[in-house]
Structure 1
């Protein structure tokens, strides 16, 4: 039986053009997320209700924490970068900040629009990929950023022929990787080699019917379930480890659901980012809450802590 929920009120009315890239930091007990098109990184602290943003020179598309606690690793429009916590004043002072670029060969080519989603694997690598210019094109690629034993960065190509790189996750043993290829509406599964970072044996984990839009960001829970934000549908869904749909959350005031992550002291609150851009189609319902931040409580599921990248933002 599918459980159904409806969320009518946003947590924060932000009006993001393209809210995305949410990550919960269990150490600071803060949520970090981005507005890609407005070049903002948001910080939200549930214990106090304080929230704010910092504006950067680059479009920042996804975030993950650092193992040493010095800040965040990010995918930016042109590649990879560090964001030290010192550049995220809280509350912000309004000044524009610059990221610390990571110098690797992983760069967009002439067919790629920009980098998009990124996530850290259980071995501490940061995987991020691109999207093409045309919807449906398979010009995207994925790179796997890591720090070598000598302290250098490398980012080999690990996947190509991607439409639009989106949510990723791993099973508890790290042997299966989930990957969202949005424009073909597929969440794929791969065999994953934790030692080498190699992905193999691609197969379809989930493709849902049109009423569920395109899969976007995702996260996992402690039972092995997959939570998927659905672009163009106003929904977040949960898929069981076998790929069956068992939870549907409707957001009647929003349309493009972009990213989901569990947060809060016990990782039981589901945070959802949204976008206000790229509304297409006929007779769309009123979606004035697009771009706001939502939280869903009382679902009865617990998230798992995100892995952290083994680099440092210290300067």
Structure 2
């Protein structure tokens, strides 16, 4: 078989998301959005909770801070906090004035700038009021500025290998956009559609593009929520070039990691499945590790840490 998929966690999470590989710590950072925590997991499957919110609050993203071993940045509801893991101290960086939304996926660009998006509040999985969200950039002084408006469900982010293109997913409309990217200023321009899943027969009607990453060949790997698969997409043509079948339907995000960046980590959801589907998908909510016999199955390690 080309791909081997195995459980990387010992048990399921409610709504696993936001995986980032930390090469120095040799750990995977991730969040459980609805359980409200940010954590790491290592090769021994040991989970360390870095930050836990009170019940009823979402934690949508976690990123380490460069040069600060005990500091992380987390997206909580509509706020961005700097957290000292050692003391538990939480410092507010900025908070949105907008209601009816929450933060979702976030990543740092190759210069260490934090990009984080919002989505309308769901009444059911993938069911929300459209165009309530936006995409934001966090400045060096910790302030959020809106870079893109009328987003419905802000999700996956990735930068091309030459740093000249930002790839971006709005899950609700099933589109992957490409923008010209100025790495020196962080400015985006010239939005165009790379993939329209509403018009491409390679995509299932029920699936939504969720989190994504980019490999060493410049191809995107996208977690297909409700699709039970990861798809690889040519970063220039937008065509599907490979598929990884997953043991659960609601996969949420993906990243490369491991000592040689030849392992793929995939997060997933258990919370939204009914009892019948939970019985059919006993590994729902687990974190997975994917390996491959393909020699070019290798990640491009993006910048994973915030720089102030």
CA separation of 1:283 and 1:38: change in aligned 2, threshold 3 A: closer
Q: Deviation at 1:24?
A: 0.7
Q: Deviation at 1:279?
A: 3.7
**TM score, norm. by length of structure 2:** 0.86
Q: Is 1:194 aligned to 2:183, yes or no?
A: yes
Deviation string 1:123-167 (CA, Å, 9 cap, x unpaired) is 2210101001352511101110021xxxx3222110111011111
Q: Give the match for residue 216 of structure 2.
A: 222
Q: Give the match for residue 93 of structure 1.
A: none
Please say if residues 38 and 62 of structure 2, whose CA atoms lie closer than 8 Å, have aligned partners that are also in contact.
no
Q: Greater shift after overlay, 186-195 or 217-226?
A: 186-195
- 1:115 aligned to which of 99, 103, 110: 103
CA separation of 1:6 and 1:145: change in aligned 2, threshold 3 A: same
Q: Is 1:61 aligned to 2:60, yes or no?
A: yes
Gaps of 5+ in 2: 123-127, 198-202
CA separation of 1:108 and 1:18: change in aligned 2, threshold 3 A: farther
Q: Is 1:258 aligned to 2:252, yes or no?
A: yes
Q: Give the match for residue 91 of structure 1.
A: none
Q: Give the match for residue 26 of structure 1.
A: 23
Please say if residues 129 and 141 of structure 1, whose CA atoms lie closer than 8 Å, have aligned partners that are also in contact.
yes
Deviation string 1:239-286 (CA, Å, 9 cap, x unpaired) is 11221211111113x111111011111111000000012348x99982
Q: Distance in 2 between matches of 1:243 and 1:4?
A: 22
Please say if residues 104 and 154 of structure 2, whose CA atoms lie closer than 8 Å, have aligned partners that are also in contact.
yes
Q: Deviation at 1:213?
A: 0.9
SS at match of 1:38: coil
Q: Deviation at 1:200?
A: 1.6
Q: Deviation at 1:6?
A: 6.2
Deviation string 1:84-109 (CA, Å, 9 cap, x unpaired) is 3426xxxxxxxxx563321x3x5051
Q: Deviation at 1:18?
A: 0.6
Q: Is 1:131 aligned to 2:119, yes or no?
A: yes
Q: Distance in 2 between matches of 1:86 and 1:273?
A: 26
Q: Deviation at 1:22?
A: 0.8
Q: Give the match for residue 125 of structure 2.
A: none
Gaps of 5+ in 1: 88-96
CA separation of 1:203 and 1:231: change in aligned 2, threshold 3 A: same
Q: Deviation at 1:64?
A: 2.3
Give the 5 Å matches for 1:1-315: 5=3, 7=5, 9-46=6-43, 48-54=44-50, 56-57=52-53, 58-70=57-69, 71-86=71-86, 97=88, 99-102=90-93, 104=94, 106-112=95-101, 114-133=102-121, 135=128, 137-147=130-140, 152-208=141-197, 209-210=203-204, 213-241=207-235, 242-252=237-247, 254-279=248-273, 286-298=280-292, 299-300=294-295, 301-307=297-303, 308-311=305-308
**TM score, norm. by length of structure 1:** 0.84
Please say if residues 37 and 52 of structure 2, whose CA atoms lie closer than 8 Å, have aligned partners that are also in contact.
yes
SS at match of 2:106: strand
SS at match of 1:156: strand
Q: Deviation at 1:26?
A: 1.0
Deviation string 1:269-306 (CA, Å, 9 cap, x unpaired) is 000000012348x9998222111010001253211222
CA separation of 1:32 and 1:18: change in aligned 2, threshold 3 A: same
Please say if residues 51 and 85 of structure 2, whose CA atoms lie closer than 8 Å, have aligned partners that are also in contact.
no
SS at match of 2:86: helix
